[in-house]
Amino acid sequence: MAIGGYEDDEAIWANQGPDESLLVRQALNAQYYAHVQAIRALASPHEGSERASPADHGVLGRLPLDSAARKKVPVWTFINTYFPDVIIAMAALSYAANEKHNPGQPLHWSREKSGDHKDCLLRHLFDEERIDPETGQPEAVAAAWRACANAQLVIEKLREKNNGTK
């Protein structure tokens, strides 16, 4: 079964060229959108914590409460139309790295195990087209993961500085 319970996804993606895949992906966007909205309503990451104002969402990484402002942060569309392959590759890399560094444990980011994200990012970029034999992913994907990790830590640091929460 594919993500979201849509069993026909694998068949839809099979034998599609790049242009056809984009059209199929855009068509599936509407189907998944309702599913994603329902999940968000059930499991908001902001429960029990103050949310940033619309003016702060770009700096603090939180979605604004105002409906019009929220529509200016199209998270699903961004991920699905800009970088879907990279997101999938980073998820696969995360799983492989978790199995290496935390065998048998659920997928999680062991933040204490590595904090030199900028140095690692550049090392991965030097060999960006090399396939890492341990993860099966290009080094460019590991660089993207490190860039995301660094950005996440920066946003958390700014949020903590501005309002005392992570």
Domain boundaries, the chain: 74-166
Do 124 and 137 meet the contact criterion of CB atoms below 8 Å apart?
A: no
**What secondary structure does DSSP assign to 4-53, as a single string?**
GG-TTHHHHHTT--HHHHHHHHHHHHHHHHHHHHHHHHHS-TTTTS----
The per-residue pLDDT for range 94-121, each reduced to its tens digit, is 999 999 999 999 999 989 888 899 999 9
* Lowest mean pLDDT across 18-27, 74-83, 122-131: 18-27
C-alpha 110/C-alpha 97 separation (Å) is 10
The per-residue pLDDT for range 9-51, each reduced to its tens digit, is 444 445 555 555 555 555 455 444 444 444 444 344 444 444 4
**Which residues does residue 138 pair with via DSSP β-bridges, in sequence order?**
131
Do 142 and 164 meet the contact criterion of CB atoms below 8 Å apart?
A: no
